Amino acid sequence: MSQWPDTRLLDLFGIELPILQAPMAGSTGSAMAIAVSNAGGLGSLPCATLSLEQIRAELQAFREASNGPLNVNFFCHQPPEPDPARDAAWKLALKPYYEELGADFEAPTPVSNRAPFDDATCQLLEQFKPAVVSFHFGLPEASLLKRVKATGAKVLSSATTVDEALWLEDHGCDAIIAMGYEAGGHRGMFLSSDLNTQVGTLALVPQIVDAVNVPVIAAGGIGDHRGIVAALALGASAVQLGTAYLFCPEAKVSAAHRQALHSAKESDTAVTNLFTGRPARGIRTRIMRELGPMSDLAPRFPLAGGALMPLRAISEPKGNSDFSNLWSGQALRLGQALPAGELTRTLAENALAQLKR
Ligand SMILES: Cc1cc2nc3c(=O)[nH]c(=O)nc-3n(C[C@H](O)[C@H](O)[C@H](O)COP(=O)(O)O)c2cc1C
């Protein structure tokens, strides 16, 4: 018999530990997912920045190394309408940086590469049939969602308000990630765009638990076993940790990002739209300080990142993060540089020990 107080998600996903390693596009891949799933948690494979061939290779790598369940994660935003005037205004705001770094301002702006879930990725899921499929920014259109569910996958998405949780439940989610404002990376918000009304994890989780019938996964600011125990006490059936897994050797973060995670304070993160056009939490860098973390000029998601690419191409090889996104949640001081499997087991053991006290 399980020692955990709530086994709904353990049964739904076929996992031993109520711990999900957050999908983190660009920062984690199959190595992390394999380690977490083999330790008894739910490993995740973020696909938002991967090509179809890369997704296929990562799924195969997972299959070869783990019999455990896998969560495959996609963004499902609407690609933006072209807006050349906004793109030009944004690039103009960055012109002083192009001049400072010697980047070619007249060269065509590169296009940033976050693709939404579509027919081709759905076909891949139909072949691989992962146990869990999760989405960020709502859900894909009904016909695609129907095909995902027909594979037998359990479907998850993030809610940042009770209204979003109710919407996700109505549209067929098997469980809901309650994503508090402390969380690192992009806010999953999709019904509201008002950051001022976003809710912290402690307030959000029990209100979503009360509002929906499906199990709830708490996310945002959970950095160690104390956060896990607290989330379970609030009625969550499991937790999803992102920032905590960025400290693991399996995380694909730059040396500068890793260094910033180790040295930043809890008050060093902010929510910014400068890097992609959508609000996301990261450690403050020079451009966030100088342009303000939120800018009306930033083009719609994911286009804002394009004009920053030439600046990053020059600064990052020098170990400089002035123009880079260093995604992180607020609980970064709790991070421990353990291998992902060991971290998962340690978190679970310590949480169980505290639950039994
Ligand atoms: C580096 C980073 C990248 C992220 N990328 C994704 C992503 O691709 N898909 C997604 O659903 N969530 C993404 N998130 C959000 C996480 O799934 C999760 O909700 C969040 O990390 C939880 O908060 P925490 O960082 O405080 O643990 C990302 C978070 C971080 C820190």
Identity of residue 79: P
Instruction: Find the 100 Cα to ligand 1 centroid distance in Å.
Output: 32
Task: Give the pLDDT confidence score for residue 8 in this predicted structure.
Answer: 98
CA 81 from chain centre, in angstroms, equals 24
The CATH number corresponding to 1-77+114-250+339-357 among 3.40.50.2000, 3.30.930.10, 2.30.30.20, 3.20.20.70 equals 3.20.20.70
Number of C-beta neighbours around residue 123 at 10 A: 12
Q: Could you give the CA distance from residue 245 to residue 21 in angstroms, rounded to a whole number?
A: 7
Length of the chain: 357
Best mutation site among 186, 254, 276 for ligand 1 pocket (most ligand atoms within 8 Å of CB): 186
If you measure from the C-alpha of residue 187 to the centroid of ligand 1, how many angstroms do you get, rounded to a whole number?
A: 8
Q: Which residues line ligand 1 (CB under 6 A)?
A: 22-25, 27, 46, 48, 73, 134, 136, 179, 182-185, 219-222, 240-244, 327-329, 331
Angle CA 215–218–223, to nearest 5: 150
In order along its 357 residues, the chain shows pLDDT tens digits of 689 999 999 999 999 999 999 999 999 999 999 999 999 999 999 999 999 999 999 999 999 999 999 999 999 998 899 899 999 999 999 999 999 999 999 999 998 777 889 999 999 999 999 999 999 999 999 999 999 999 999 999 999 999 999 999 999 999 999 999 999 999 999 999 999 999 999 999 999 999 999 999 999 999 999 999 999 999 999 999 999 999 999 999 999 999 999 999 999 999 999 999 999 999 999 999 999 999 999 999 999 999 999 999 999 999 999 999 999 999 999 999 999 999 999 999 999 999 998
Domain ranges of the chain: 1-77+114-250+339-357, 81-112+254-331
Atom of ligand 1 nearest to the CA of 135: 11
**Other beta carbons less than 10 A from residue 241's beta carbon:** 31
**Closest of 25, 31, 26 to residue 316, by C-alpha:** 26
Three state DSSP letters for 152-203: CCEEEEEECCHHHHHHHHHCCCCEEEEECCCCCEECCCCCCCCHHHCCCHHH
In single-letter form, the type of residue at position 272 comes to T
Ligand 1 atom 29 nearest Cα: 185
Cα angle, residue 134 at apex, residues 259 and 61 outer, rounded to 5°: 70
Token pair 């696909």: residue: 47
